[in-house]
Amino acid sequence: MLYQVRLFNRFRKTFVVSIITEYYRILELADRVKNAKENCQTLDWLCDRVEKLAGVGRVPKQELERVRQDALRALDIYIQAEKEYKQVLDDFKIMLGLPTKAEFRLDENELKALNSTETTYPNFNESQAIEIALLQRLDLVNSADAIIDAQRKIVVAEDSLRGDLTLVGGSNLTPDTDTDFTTLRRQKGAVDVGILLDLPLERMFEQNEYRKALIILSQRQREYEQTSDIVTLEVRQAYRDLTEGMRRYRVQSAALELAKKRLKDTYLLLRYGRASSRRVLRAQEDLFNAQNEAVDALTDYTIATLNFYYSTEVLQVRPDGMWEY
């Protein structure tokens, strides 16, 4: 029963992590759709702006054609992103056991809340995380208890190899015919006592069971070592993903702020005729890519954090299904 309780608790954590991971991925796709839509709107505005400048001869018509081409490409990206988002959202409904016709919207403020959270380096190293996991992982605890059970079975098998000395006895009590059955008196009776001795001369079956118990113990020990190695590798990978995700998120956040500033400056130069539309298009494309890379880094970092606490068994699932660590 204890094994099954641990397995069930581990399954609850696995299920919660899988659902939340998919939830964040869908939020990322929703943000990509929003970025693609804003990119289309910006390029449409730029197309109108360049068309006016081309009408008065301030820019060549080739630039207008390039802007229009980029606007069509942006529209195609938006259409594909919206299609992918709707498809993944329907798959998520199936994952939750909901009909595909069910309508609901994800909380887009969740990304804003994650973005406003300050990222800090972990206050523990990799070896400390591995030590915690080896002490708390439920699947590893089950594997350790399986060794104890196998050792207990060896003790039982060893006891079966010894001889048996059994004391047997019996008695015969006859009730008085003049009394009822509620009161018995010993009128006539006999007592038999004997000893049964089973010498350990033929123990083929018991010997086979003992050898089998030894083999099972060896298997359980190897399974524990293998599970321990797997847990160690999982924690090391999760720790690397956590640290890499945090660094990448910081880099992409800085790149996004730089892309915004660059686009703003390029717009000003275009307004005063000191920059071509090609520079604006490139700056807008870089901003669009930076937005997508930033949200991708944010979700990767959040999922890596969740997986790290899941791998170390620090993640806890409350009775209401929410999690904490």
Superfamily (CATH H level) for 2-159+202-324 = Outer membrane efflux proteins (OEP) (1.20.1600.10)
Per residue in 176-191, pLDDT tens? 555 554 554 444 556 7
């329907």: which residue's tokens? 90
Model confidence, pTM: 0.81
Residue ranges with strand state E in the chain:
164-174, 188-198, 316-317, 323-324
pLDDT for 186 equals: 46
Per residue in 114-133, pLDDT tens? 888 777 767 788 999 999 99
pLDDT for 67 equals: 87
Annotate 200-223 with b (16+ C-beta within 10 A) or e (fewer).
eeebeebeebbeebeebbeebeee
Domain ranges (residues) in the chain = 2-159+202-324, 165-198
pLDDT for 312 equals: 93
Question: Which ranges of the chain have pLDDT less than 70?
Answer: 57-59, 121, 163-164, 172-190, 197-201, 272-273
Is 132 in contact with 239 (CB distance < 8 Å)? no
Q: Which tokens in the block code for residue 196? A: 């049964």
pLDDT for 176 equals: 53
Distance separating alpha carbons of residues 105 and 35, to the nearest angstrom = 17
Report CA dihedral (305, 310, 316, 322) to the nearest 10 degrees: 60
pLDDT for 38 equals: 94
